[in-house]
Structure 1
Amino acid sequence: MAQATILRPGMMMTVQDAGRPGLLRFGVSGSGPMDPEALEIANALVGNDPGAACLEFAYLGGEIRLDEDRSIAVCAAATELRIDGARVPAWCSHRLRAGQVLAIGATPGSVWGYVAVSGGIATPPVLGSRATHLRSGLGGLEGRALREGDCLPLGTGAPGPERMLRQGWRSRTGPIRVVMGPQDRAFALEERARFLSEPFIASARRDRMAMVLDGPRIAAAGGHDIVSDGTLAGSVQVPGSGQPTVLMADRQTTGGYPKIATISSVDLPRLAQMPVGHRFRFQAISQPQAEEVLICARRAFRRALDQVRG
């Protein structure tokens, strides 16, 4: 079986596919990519199924070598992307010949990136998915982040035609839209107003489980402990510190802190990609509005995908 060798791992580099939906009631986190659309674009560029397993990394992509000719694509804001020293663009497919080294530099201005290989990463599925969940040690390669010298099996695939992303699909400006609740009534009116009017900052305290926000402290009128209930990707919990914490792909399935709001599905990947120190504000919208903007965003994404596939 063909393999990919990790010569130098990227930061927080793991195997990720579309994740494990439908298992939250059993206490199993969905996991999957921090930026699902970027993963899908990467797979489309190399001719894979939309949810095929890729490599996900944060900030820095490292170096990878294949032992068989394949198509590869890197979907990240990588300014230094090279094959055997020759610079190549991101958001395009390229032929990586056996023995050549793909080197992926830093991703200034964003966080998460994806490497797709034609045929996909073929680590054994766990509970129907190859996605790595680090805290529980599920999926990927031994349920852990990748290390130097790791060898990953590849599925059946061959180099295909060169493809490129011809148009963007996602707005990168404007406030992060939220639907208030489900426990927004646990916060006084003035606290809710501060949450929506004052700026927050993307902090360095972040991983695949959650992202802590710097900025105004938000106090819960009745205290910061509630009877544990279910969480969603994008739930904004407010613990005793008063610092809002946004739950991400590897979140716990239940939580005992009040949730003042939920990030709209359309803006959660944009928040995940915000670099440390970036300032932003929240904007409250209704659930019907959130559904409408998501429908419009998905149409734009499908148009971009159609151009990739030709």
Structure 2
Amino acid sequence: MFSYLIRRVLMLVPVFFAVSLVIFLILHFIPGDPIDNLLKVGSSPQARTEMEARYGLDQPLPVQYGLWLGRVLTGDLGTAIVARRPVADLIAQALPHSLRLGGLALLFSSVVGVGLGVVAALNRDRWPDRAIMGGVLLGSTMPGFWLGLILMLVFSVWLGWFPVSGARSWQALVLPVLTIGLGGTALVARITRVAMIEAAGRDFVLLLHAKGLSPLRIQLRHVLRHALIPVVTILALRIGWILGGAVTVEVVFARPGLGTLLIKSLSQHDYPVVQACLLMLAMAVMLGTLLGDILQAAMDPRVRAALG
């Protein structure tokens, strides 16, 4: 198990370098640069040249990438060109809001998704199953930003139950959490239902019925435990995607966070901030994938046996 963990961590190293290169190149290929937001109207070409030299933007792209990557590997995310503050400070100020939102959305989608999946599996091919799967299908195809606007219109504008925007109270978290969590709920419910139906057809379930255990106890205590293996793996994989999905939701609800910081910095072409934000989101996806593989190996004896 330990050797498998080491191999998986080492596999992330080339992925990290490839992702960092893609982030750097895509950002620098976008028209415009941060100097446009710093120069005054009518500034001379010499002023632009001096400012580009000050921030190292006059050097070839391979040199800029090497310098940026070298600083990142030593823990230095650089200084924001437009905001003129350390990038680490900006991220440290925004990240807790995104983690709080993403963590609550993950908890919501886990609890509600598993619950709906269990109810659907226990009522297979009956009306509760059809109703839940119909709602799941609708929830999985609904864009997050559109759902956020609908929830805002109904519960904030019409009913006045929750604030439209901001992050000053726990009420401001309800609608953003629902917006992000409902999509994950649909996925978790569908996987839970399929996994429980598959596990219910295995030989050990027939043996438990032969021993006289009640069907409900078999389903909730034994079948569900086996069905949670793929569910836990999917939830770990969704860690990064939930943080990425929070980008649009934070903008819709005008919440402070990594997404708001990313969009604002992207409009200003503030390279160090955008690169750091995108790298953080990419690392969240990579770490979620690693966590999913580790949890699957820890929960499934067959996987551990295959690893040797």
> Under a length normalisation based on structure 1, what TM-score does the superposition of the two structures give?
0.23
Q: Which has the larger radius of gyration?
A: 2
Q: Which has the higher contact order (CA 8 A, sep 6+)?
A: 2
Q: TM-score, normalised by structure 2?
A: 0.23
